[in-house]
Amino acid sequence: QTIYLKDYAAPHHWVDTVHLTFTLAPQATRVLSRIAFVPNAENPGDLVLNGEQLTLLSLRIDGESVEYAVTDTHLTVAQADLPSGAFTFEAEVEISPQTNTALEGLYMSSGMYCTQCEAEGFRKITYYPDRPDVMGVFTVRVESELPVLLSNGNPVASGKGWAEWHDPWKKPAYLFALVAGDLIAHNDSFTTMSGKEVDLNIYVRKGDEDKCAFGMAALKASMTWDEEVYGREYDLDIFNIVAVDDFNMGAMENKGLNIFNSSCVLASPETSTDATFERVEGIIAHEYFHNWTGNRITCRDWFQLCLKEGLTVYRDQMFSGDMRSHPVKRIEEVLQLRARQFREDNGPLAHPVRPESFVEINNFYTATVYEKGAEIIGMLRRLVGDEAYYAGCALYFDRFDGQAVTIEDWLACFAQVTGRDLAQFQQWYSQAGTPRLSVTEAFSGDSFTLTFTQETPPTPGQAVKKPQVLPIAVGLIAADGTEVLPTTVLEMTQASQSFTFSGLAARPTASILRDFSAPVILTRDIDATTRAFLLAHDTDPFNKWEMGRMLAKDTLIAMITRNEAPAGDYLDALKAVLTDDSLDPAFRALTLGLPSQDDLAQTLFDAGQTPDPMAIYEAREALRHALAHHFADVLPDLFAQLDAGTFKPDADGSGKRSLRMSVLSLLSLIDAGKAAQGLFESADNMTEQAGSLLALLGAGKGEEELASFYAQWFHDRLVMDKWFMMQVATAAPLEAAQIVAKLTQHADFNAKNPNRFRAVFGALAANHAGFHAPDGGGYKLLADALIDLDSLNPQTTARLCTAFETWRRYDGDRQSMIRDQLMRILAKPDLSRDTTEMVTRILGD
Ligand code: ARG
Ligand code: ZN
């Protein structure tokens, strides 16, 4: 059944207060609810409550029994059977957390109870109007013999075997949370800008206490940042975070009780890489920032998901930039955006940032909603300027606090503050697809003219596209490398538009789309010499990196399609960056990084060619070897110099290690693995331990190290996820399927744990040549695993179906093998709604 944005209607009843009592038992938890309903005078009707997989034990309205109808999904009381005004609804239901492998609603993970209600999980806990525009004040009593009993808001009272919580802020049911377990708190406190003391806790299982300090520091930094940058203060006496091993996503912003996938909160130098530290910092910030962008102001309906997610991603990105390095962060964001969002936007799953319809909302927690949603906020800010941006945000917080609102409400604040008409800009929310922007340059007299043309290709359901508003940041650079025009934002609104710069002594070199100022694919006809010039002289770090990337791409495409040797100019330009000590090591590492195989496949496809995964793989390996040989004289010294000393997970240390690991991975191709073996033996941190192991595996070595890694870490599930993942990620194309099949037989493989499942099958999907191996073994293996997983966990199954979203890029043989597997998944009896929707959309028509 498809739900449409255009069909939105307010509920028949609003909620005032909610009282819940949970009597926890693994297979027979009782949930007693007392809900004060108020009829919606503007839309009177039946009382319609959602409810799934519940055993109803009793039901009363104002203390009396009443007629009702129950289906698999709803409980309805006819308007005629309801009291005329406000009333109290009471019900008791029974649920079974222990058998809940979907990890949605109330479930158990390693002996603890926990919840995940977003988007529509609360209906698996009790009967309720489970929609975000219905907001209530919750009081929750938890009864269990487990020592730690938590829910949203502030603690009210507790005794042996029970605890009571009250959340004074009204909220939609998707923000409800409950946790019960034998947990240890890492405790701290924070004084808010108005002087209120907040108790902070990160709750973890025994044995994880020593992995909380970094997350706690990130939480305090986030609280300070939101006060200083957005003027937003925390609003409860307590803020709790709980780490859970079995979790479908990264984390969840439940009011006052954030629940995290343990992989996104636990961190220690010995067990976590720099990338993990960075991710933990970003996700802690993200969930904390939701307290204002999501919780205090929430979404009217799930079509508005980007209202909270795009904005909150944008906020966490700015935070991470402030904590670390803005240029490095921006390059990482663009890499992600291109790898995930552009891929989505250019395939059968393309959808607007605000979708117009869905079957299963969980399928729309996508890179488009999150990352493109964040890009829209960034463009808005660039167009209106910092001052108006913050003024618009302040107006938004002020005007809509305590409400469930829409994208129109958000944009109206900026229209009001700036006096701008944002009608065309709003198209970014409704028009899917990545605009292609092309540019030509002309110089005459003292004037330089840039002429831009934009075009967005059709996407499913949207054949005809309109021009978007594009903020295009440009700068001009003279032949001697000096900047003659500092960064200037051009505002493009038409299909084709020219911008002229006068008073120039000579023809400049343009630096276009600085800081990646709009999420578009820019095509520009410039030669390798100009690219190398910009790589050396551009003052915009993003474009400087971008020029290196384009050179790498051109080199690889020439190697793949014309069997050419790697261009010497490119190798020299790259060497200059590699050895330039004046550049940030993190930036040098990013410049050294090669475009992914998936990126190359898309690039070839866009150029009208059929990508051959084996040829792409081989060219990329050949280029890695060419780089290693070309840099042979500098690699050993660089490796030695880049020792960051005592481990600190900050921007400086991680930047050095990042470059050091890039150097090591090349060095391992020419030193028989000596340096990597040495580092593997001596490393005192996971970044270098895993980095050296990866370097060895990437050079076809490391068997012994892999075994000793296992012996050292078999007891640590998050490190073991890496052990599984690294083997699949580095598997040679023709061996990948076999390695995956073997790993799924390993005693430590557990398909019920999403992290472990993704460590193996997510890594298979990401091993481009391995997944697309000519015999179709990768496709079949993944399809088998998805068919099995669907009965246990539809959400994670549906998400991994995206491995197939690019199928139309490839040759006829591969297309028909993939189609067969998709049809086989679709034919599974009782396939979940989640997976059915995804596979159907991927197949298209
Ligand atoms: N709101 C969460 C976040 O972005 C994501 C939760 C999504 N969960 C889901 N089952 N769809 O932080
Ligand atoms: Zn979020």
- Residue range 526-541, pLDDT digits in tens: 999 999 999 999 999 9
| DSSP class per residue in 479-500 | TTS-EEEEEEEEEE-SSEEEEE
Ligand 1 centre from 224 Cα, in Å?
Answer: 24
Output the residue whose Cα is nearest ligand 1's atom 7: 118
H or E element that contains 178: strand 178-181
**Index of the ligand 1 atom closest to the CA of residue 365:** 11
Report the relative pairing of strands 238-244 and 257-261 from DSSP bridges.
parallel
- How many whole angstroms from 252 Cα to the centroid of ligand 1? 6
The band of 834, judged by pLDDT with boundaries at 50, 70 and 90, is very high
Q: Which residues contact 604 (CB under 8 A, 6 or more apart)?
A: 557, 560, 561, 610, 611, 616
From residue 480, how far is each of 265, 444, 449, 510, 512 by CA, in Å? 48, 20, 20, 13, 18
Q: Are strands 183-191 and 197-205 parallel, antiparallel or unpaired?
A: antiparallel
Mean pLDDT of 519-524: 97
Ligand 1 centre from 298 Cα, in Å?
A: 14
- The overall average pLDDT reported for the chain is 98
Q: Is 119 in the pocket of ligand 1 (CB under 6 A)?
A: yes
Q: Please tell me the residue having the least CA distance from ligand 1 atom 1.
A: 252
Catalytic residue at 837? no
Q: Cβ distance 765 to 803 under 8 Å? A: yes
Tokens of 339: 């790898």
Ligand nearest to the CA of 261: 1
Read off the pLDDT of residues 67-96 as tens digits, 9 standing for 90 and up: 999 999 999 999 999 999 999 999 999 999
What integer pLDDT is reported at residue 624 of this predicted model? 98
Q: Which long-range contacts (CB under 8 A, 24 or more apart) does 188-193 make?
A: 188/216, 188/220, 190/219, 190/220, 190/223, 190/234, 190/239, 192/223, 192/227, 192/233, 192/234, 193/227, 193/233
365 lines ligand 1 (CB under 6 A): yes
**Mean pLDDT, residues 548-577 taken together:** 96
Over residues 581-617, the pLDDT tens digits come to 999 999 999 999 999 999 999 999 999 999 999 999 9
pLDDT band at 644 (very low <50, low <70, confident <90, very high): very high
118 lines ligand 1 (CB under 6 A): yes
Would you state the pLDDT for residue 397? 99
Q: State both tokens at 427.
A: 């198209």
Angle separating helix axes 568-578 and 613-630, nearest 10 degrees: 60
Tens of pLDDT, residue by residue over 499-508, are: 999 999 999 9
Give the model confidence (pLDDT) of 267-307 as tens digits: 999 999 999 999 999 999 999 999 999 999 999 999 999 99
* 249 close to ligand 1 (CB < 6 Angstrom): yes
- Interval 389-401: pLDDT, tens: 999 999 999 999 9
CA–centroid distance, 500 to ligand 1, in Å, is 45
Query: Ligand 1 centroid vs 289 CA: distance in angstroms?
Result: 14
Q: Which of 249, 289, 315 to mutate to test the pocket of ligand 1 (most atoms within 8 A of CB)?
A: 249
Residue to substitute in 241, 365, 799 for testing ligand 1 pocket (most ligand atoms within 8 angstroms of CB): 365
Q: Please name the amino acid found at residue 376.
A: I
Distance CA 676, CA 661 (A): 9
At residue 531, the pLDDT reads: 95
Mean pLDDT for the stretch of residues 550-562: 97
Q: Are 566 and 559 in contact (CB under 8 A)?
A: yes
Q: Which atom of ligand 1 is nearest to the CA of 286?
A: 12
pLDDT digits (tens, 9 = 90+) for 451-493: 999 999 999 999 999 999 999 999 999 999 999 999 999 999 9
Structure tokens at 455: 């075009």
Here the tokens at position 198 are 């907040």
pLDDT at 845: 78
Which tokens sit at 690?
């895993």
575 CA to centre of ligand 2 in angstroms: 40
Query: Given ligand 1 and candidates 222, 241, 252, which is best to mutate, with the most ligand atoms within 8 Å of its CB?
Result: 252
**Residue 266, token pair as written in the block:** 């636990």
Ligand 1 binding pocket includes 721 (Cβ within 6 Å): no
- Residues 741-774: tens digit of each pLDDT: 999 999 999 999 999 999 999 999 999 999 999 9
C-alpha neighbours within 13 Å on the C-beta side of residue 790: 25
Question: Of 120, 143, 287, 375, which one is the catalytic site residue?
Answer: 287
Ligand 2 centre and the CA of 731: distance in Å?
33
| Spacing of C-alpha 464 from chain mean position | 29
CA angle 257, 260, 261 (to 5 degrees): 160
Q: Flag whether pLDDT at 562 surpasses 90.
A: yes
171-215 pLDDT, tens digit per residue, is 999 999 999 999 999 999 999 999 999 999 999 999 999 999 999
Closest by Cα among 56, 235, 35, 68 to 134: 35
Contact predicate 815/842, CB 8 Å? no
Pocket test for ligand 1, best of 117, 118, 834 (most atoms within 8 A of CB): 118
User: Ligand 1 in contact with 252 (CB < 6 A)?
Assistant: yes
Residue 400's SS3 state is helix
Position 634 pLDDT exceeds 90: yes
ipTM: 0.98
Mean pLDDT, range 425-451, rounded to an integer: 98
